[in-house]
Amino acid sequence: MRKLVLATRNAHKVGELRAILGAAGLEVDLVGADAFPEVPDVAETGVTFAENALLKAHALARATGLPAVADDSGLCVDVLGGAPGIFSARWAGRHGDDRANLELLLAQLSDIADPHRGAHFACAAALALPNGEERVVEGRLRGTLRFEPVGSFGFGYDPILQPDGYSVTCAELTPDQKNAISHRGEAFRALTPILRDLLV
């Protein structure tokens, strides 16, 4: 069985990709970056989700000698020209402060009416092989931004994005329900046939 490493130390993300690959009948031994504690995290210096995903995937493939998958994602708001985009995790200034990021975004959009609150979650998933070969796919989840956060599932901007066709936010969906429609799930599923072609 081929070993594949996912550029994250988030066990939830590893489990999500493992489930997607399993459902597709693709047998790979998937591990997270925490299996290689000596490999440092990669600075996300790209200006697109795809560039950041490729930076992380190539760095991990070089460091481990294994095929590597990485993703980068964020929220893109129509009236903000696609922002916060790649800055989603540090929109309020400090990386990973979900509450501050969400509160700042809501304040910036406080006078924007419902018809103009369109947004989408975007995700780029990249595969890099030790020989330098690469592939990138993307996924999206369109929706509308609420005025107040609702729901206790998920993280980041999940409590304010209501997916198109739903009456609840992403944070009100169960993890399984969200994975079925999410931008990350869509990107990982699109990557599956590429993994099958290149790894099996």
Residue 42 belongs to what domain range? 2-199
Contact (Cβ atoms closer than 8 angstroms) between residue 9 and residue 34: yes
> Is 72 marked active-site?
yes
Q: What is the pLDDT of residue 164?
A: 98
Distance (Å, whole) CA 11 – CA 20: 14
Q: What is the pLDDT of residue 116?
A: 98
Distance (Å, whole) CA 156 – CA 101: 8
Is the per-residue pLDDT at 96 higher than 80?
no
Q: What is the pLDDT of residue 1?
A: 62
Domain count along the chain:
1
Distance (Å, whole) CA 136 – CA 169: 28
Catalytic residue among 72, 97, 98, 176: 72
The CATH number given to whatever domain includes residue 75 is 3.90.950.10
Q: Kindly report, residue by residue over 23-77, the tens digit of the pLDDT.
A: 888 888 999 999 999 988 888 899 999 999 999 999 999 999 999 999 999 999 9
